[in-house]
Amino acid sequence: MHELTLAEDLIQLVENTARREQARGVKTVVVEIGRLSTVEPDALRFAFDEVKRGGLAAEAALRLIDVPGAGLCRACGKTSPMDEIYGTCTHCGSPCLDPVAGQEMRVKEIEIAT
């Protein structure tokens, strides 16, 4: 379960930021997760709740934002929505889509208590 490692890294980033800002704690962490990433949102929530204990983020809420996937078609050059890593172009039907969105996991916001 790589979500545990992701959650540990996320907590480390969040707590380092909170310490740098001399915060008393962390209220909310907002993370964007792409649909084409290999991150399972429910597993990340569970892991986050486990690893946040005892630190500055112990009371933090995790808010996840779903980022839709999109792919650029090599055949027609148009962008199509993608819900899975292998899809077909909605414009020409080609199976040659290169993902251009939805593979990321990004911390968008950290709300701290000062």
Nearest alpha carbon to residue 39 among 108, 85, 93, 73: 85
pLDDT in tens, 44-84: 999 999 999 999 999 999 999 999 999 999 999 999 999 88
pLDDT in tens, 75-96: 999 999 998 888 899 999 999 9
Domains in the chain, start-ordered, CATH in brackets? 2-113 (3.30.2320.80)
User: In the predicted model, what is the mean pLDDT of residues 23-38?
Assistant: 96
- Three-state secondary structure string covering 42-80: HHHHHHHHHHCCCCCCCCCEEEEEEECEEEEECCCCCEE
Task: Give me the pLDDT at residue 77, please.
Answer: 97
Task: Give me the pLDDT at residue 1, please.
Answer: 54
Q: What percent of the chain has pLDDT over 70?
A: 99
Collapsed DSSP state (helix, strand, coil) of residue 89? coil
C-alpha 84 chain-centroid distance:
16
Q: What is the mean pLDDT of the chain?
A: 95
